[in-house]
Amino acid sequence: MGTLKAVLQHPDDFYPLLKLMMAVKQAEKQIPALPHWGFCYSMLHKVSRSFGLVIQQLGSELRDAVCVFYLLLRALDTVEDDTTIDTMTKIPILMEFHRHIYDPYWHFSCGTKEYKILMDRFHHVSTAFLELNASFQEAIEDITMKMGAGMAKFICKEEVVSIADYDEYCHYVAGHVGLGLSKLFHASGKEVLFPESTSNAMGLFLQKTNIVRDFLVDINEVPKSRVYWPRQVWSRYASKPEDLKHKDNSKKAVQCLNHMVTNALVHIEDCLKYLSGIRDPAIFKFCAIPQIMAIGTLALCYNNIEVFRGVVKLRRGLTAKIIDRTNTMADVYGAFNDFCSMIRSKINVKDPNAHMTVSRIDDIQKICKNSRTLDKWKSYIIDDKPTCRPALIAFLIVIMAILYAYSQHHKSKEATS
C-alpha cells in the first residue's frame, strides 16, 4: 500500500515499477532446474531482489560466479552479524570460511529468516562454487579469506576508534568485495584488471552509505548494540553514541550525521573513474546502479533527523527508475550531479562541516560537468512532479492495486503448496 501511495504522488514511477515487476517475475521463471543452482538463484532473489535482477543480466559464466560470490559474502555477513554467537566460536568460523566453501557438506546454523535458510542449506552454495572454473574459484577464495580475517580482527575490537580504523574495517568487509568483483570481471575476459585503489573505493562508498543509513538499526541491535561510526567522529557531538538518537540531542545528531555523509563523499571521484573504464554494458549496469542508489541514499540521509528515528531509504519507484534508466556513463554523471545538487540544497552554512561538504560536492559536480553530457540529461530527481492527468493517475492506481492483489495471492499459493 505504501507503493500505491507513492505512485499517486509520483505517477511517473508507474512505468519503471511495472517494468521492474515484470523483469523480476521473468527472472524468477528462469531459475535453473538443478537443485543447487536453483537454490542459489532462489536465495539470491530472497536476499536482494533488485540486485539479483541485475546479476541475472550478466553473461552466463560470470552470472553464476557473481551469484555464488554474493551468497558467500551474505553468509560471511550473517556469521559476523549474529550477536547470539560468542566471539570464541565466531572467530575461527570467519578465519576458516574460505576453506569451508570447498566442503559440500559444511553448514553452520545461525542468522534469521532467509539468512538462516542460507546457512542451514549452505551445501548447495558450496556445490555450485565447486562447478565454477578455476580462475573464478581462486579469486573468490582469495577474497573470502581476506574478508574473513578482517572481520575476525574487528570482532576483537570493542569499537571503531579512528577514521583510519573505519576505513580499514570498510576495506575488509566491502573494499575486498570491489577487488573480488574486479578479479571476476577480469577472469571472464570482458574487462581489464582495474586498479586496486578504484576497486576498493567502489566498495567503501557502498559500505559507508549502509553504515550511515543503518545507525539506528545497529545501535538498537539485541542483545548487544553495534556502533560502526568511529569514536573520532561521534565523540565531537555526544558523550556516547547512544545519545545521538535522543530527541533533545537532535541538532548535534544531525551535525554528526552530516560529518559521516561528508566522509563518504571522498570516494566518489574514484568510483566515477572506475565506472568510466568499464567496457561491457551488462557489467557497467551491474556496477553503476548500486553506486547511484548509494549517492541517492546519502542525499536522503543528509541533514535528515529521521535517520535517528526510523528507516530512510529510496522509494521503490525511484529505485525502479535508476534500474531502468542507467545504461551509459552519461546517465551516471547526470544522476550524481542531481543527487549532489540535492545535498547542496540541504547544507546549513552553520553546520561544522559545511565548508568541507560544499568542497566535495563542488569536486564531484565539476567532474560531472566536464563530461559535457549534462545538457542531454533528463532528470528523474529534480523537478520530480506529477505530469499525468488525474484520470490517468486513477487508472494507474487501479492497475497497481490489481498487481498487488495478484502478487499477494501468488505468495499465498506458494506458501500453501
> Could you tell me which of 320, 306, 369 has the C-alpha nearest to residue 340?
369
User: Is 213 designated active site?
Assistant: yes
* Euclidean distance between CA atoms 167 and 172, whole angstroms: 9
Q: Is the pLDDT of residue 217 over 60?
A: yes
User: Is 237 designated active site?
Assistant: no
Percent of the chain with pLDDT over 70: 88
- Per residue in 283-310, pLDDT tens? 999 999 999 999 999 999 999 999 999 9
Selected catalytic residue, list 63, 121, 226, 231: 226
- Per residue in 125-175, pLDDT tens? 999 999 999 999 999 999 999 999 999 998 888 789 999 999 999 999 999
Model confidence band, residue 400 (pLDDT cutoffs 50, 70, 90): low
297 lies in a domain? yes
The CATH number of whichever domain residue 365 belongs to comes to 1.10.600.10
Q: Is the pLDDT of residue 47 over 80?
A: yes
- The 10 Å CB-count burial string (b at 16+, else e) for 25-58 is eebeeebeeeebbebbbbbbbebeebbbbbbbeb
* Euclidean distance between CA atoms 335 and 379, whole angstroms: 7
Q: Is the pLDDT of residue 241 over 90?
A: yes
- Per residue in 75-125, pLDDT tens? 999 999 888 898 899 999 999 999 999 999 999 999 999 999 999 999 999
> Is residue 145 within 8 Å of 212, Cβ to Cβ?
no
- Per residue in 327-350, pLDDT tens? 999 999 999 999 999 999 999 999
Selected catalytic residue, list 41, 108, 129, 169: 169
SS3 110: coil
User: Is 169 designated active site?
Assistant: yes
Q: How far is CA 137 from the centre of its chain?
A: 24
42 lies in a domain? no
Give pLDDT, residue 17. Answer: 81
User: Is 70 designated active site?
Assistant: no
Number of structural domains in the chain: 1
17 lies in a domain? no
Q: Mean per-residue pLDDT for 390-417?
A: 58
Range of the structural domain that residue 254 is part of: 223-383
Selected catalytic residue, list 74, 213, 316, 360: 213
213 lies in a domain? no
7 lies in a domain? no
Model confidence band, residue 22 (pLDDT cutoffs 50, 70, 90): confident
Point out the least confidently predicted range of 267-276, 301-310, 315-324, 396-405: 396-405
Selected catalytic residue, list 286, 336, 339, 380: 286
Q: Mean per-residue pLDDT for 224-232?
A: 92
369 lies in a domain? yes
* Euclidean distance between CA atoms 45 and 34, whole angstroms: 17
Burial class (CB in 10 A: 0-12, 13-18, 19+), 273: middle
Provide the mean pLDDT of the chain.
89
Give pLDDT, residue 393. Answer: 56
Q: What is the value of pTM for the model shown?
A: 0.89
236 lies in a domain? yes
Point out the least confidently predicted range of 19-28, 60-69, 239-248, 348-357: 19-28
158 lies in a domain? no
